[in-house]
């Protein structure tokens, strides 16, 4: 299964919880799932993750990031795209070595004609005095949340703002007594996404798409690609 999509027409919190729990995730204004992705002409397996928040414990990394970034102002508000956010996103995009969406509109609406968010989306903004320096988006269901995207000004790279914003999202989930936080997937052998494995590692789980059961990430064992996909990868 490479990709499947559904297109909700309204926000239904319990439905979002149910879809996240079986390995689906938001893309633009759709929900999608996949077992495999292609990066740089190679096929990789996708492993969907979640944090079981009742077992979440703040780590030394979390406390260090809070201390390092204590002078930045934190703002939580409903999602909206404006000129300041688009400018910051373009600055971030130009500095990144990997491919990303061409604009915030493309990121959040995925080239669709619909410009109304059907999800319950919030944003966390970070300010250095009055300058917007970072932002992240996340959706909230009934008892779950999913982290969508984070971006930041490259001059603050040493502050680990992408990771810090995920910790802030989890803080909000804990304050609101949510059960799960879904950070998306990681990809074995593609190290760019490995940072997800270090956030809330003590309560991190992955879904086995064969039996739709969640297991502790410590039980994960990487497997070779199915033979048919390995053959396809050789031809790309």
What is residue 227's predicted lDDT score, i.e. its pLDDT?
Answer: 40
- pTM equals 0.91
Domain residues for the domain of 180 are 4-235
What is residue 2's predicted lDDT score, i.e. its pLDDT?
Answer: 66
What is residue 114's predicted lDDT score, i.e. its pLDDT?
Answer: 60
CATH number assigned to the domain comprising residue 65: 3.40.630.30
SS (H, E, C) the chain: CCCEEECCCCCCHHHHHHHHCCCCEEECCEEEECCEEEECCEEEECEEEEEEHHHCCCCHHHHHHHHHCCCCEEEEEECCCCHHHHHHHHHHHHHCCCCCCCCHHHHHHCCCCCCCCCCCEEEEEEEECCEEEEEEEEEECCCEEEEEEEEECHHHHHHCHHHHHHHHHHHHHHHCCCCEEEEEEECCCCHHHHHHHHCCHHHEEEEECCCCEEEEHHHCCCCCCCHHHHHHHHHC
What is residue 126's predicted lDDT score, i.e. its pLDDT?
Answer: 98
The whole-angstrom separation of Cα 47 and Cα 65 is 27
The whole-angstrom separation of Cα 105 and Cα 113 is 10
The whole-angstrom separation of Cα 131 and Cα 58 is 28
Q: What is the pLDDT along the chain (236 residues), one digit of tens a residue?
A: 568 999 999 999 999 999 999 999 999 999 999 988 877 677 888 999 999 999 999 999 999 999 999 999 999 999 999 999 999 999 999 988 777 889 999 999 975 556 789 999 999 999 999 999 999 999 999 999 999 999 999 999 999 999 999 999 999 999 999 999 999 999 987 788 899 999 999 999 999 988 999 999 999 987 655 444 444 444 44
95 Cβ contact partners less than 8 Å away, ≥ 6 residues apart? 154
Q: Choose among 216, 138, 207: nearest CA to 178.
A: 138
- The count of structural domains within the chain is 1
CB distance 183 to 46 below 8 Å: no
């Amino acid at each position: 299964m490479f990709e499947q999509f559904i297109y909700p027409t309204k926000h239904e919190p319990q439905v979002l919880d149910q879809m996240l729990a079986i390995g689906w995730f938001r893309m633009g204004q759709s929900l999608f799932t996949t077992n495999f992705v292609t990066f740089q002409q190679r096929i990789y397996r996708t492993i969907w993750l979640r944090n079981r928040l009742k077992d979440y414990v703040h780590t030394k990394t979390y406390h260090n990031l809070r201390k390092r970034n204590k002078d930045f102002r934190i703002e939580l508000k409903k999602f909206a795209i404006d000129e300041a956010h688009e400018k910051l996103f373009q600055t971030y995009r130009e500095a990144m070595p990997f491919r990303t969406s061409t604009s915030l509109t493309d990121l959040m609406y995925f080239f669709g004609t619909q410009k109304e968010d059907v999800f319950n989306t919030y944003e966390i903004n970070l300010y250095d005095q009055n300058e917007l320096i970072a932002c992240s988006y996340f959706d909230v269901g009934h008892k779950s949340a999913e982290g969508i995207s984070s971006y930041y000004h490259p001059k603050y790279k040493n502050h680990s703002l992408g990771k810090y914003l995920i910790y802030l999202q989890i803080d909000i989930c804990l304050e609101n007594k949510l059960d799960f936080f879904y950070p998306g997937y990681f990809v074995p052998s593609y190290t760019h996404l490995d940072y997800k494995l270090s956030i809330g590692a003590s309560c991190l789980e992955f879904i086995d798409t064969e039996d739709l059961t969640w297991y502790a990430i410590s039980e994960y064992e990487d497997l070779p690609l199915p033979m048919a996909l390995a053959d396809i990868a050789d031809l790309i």
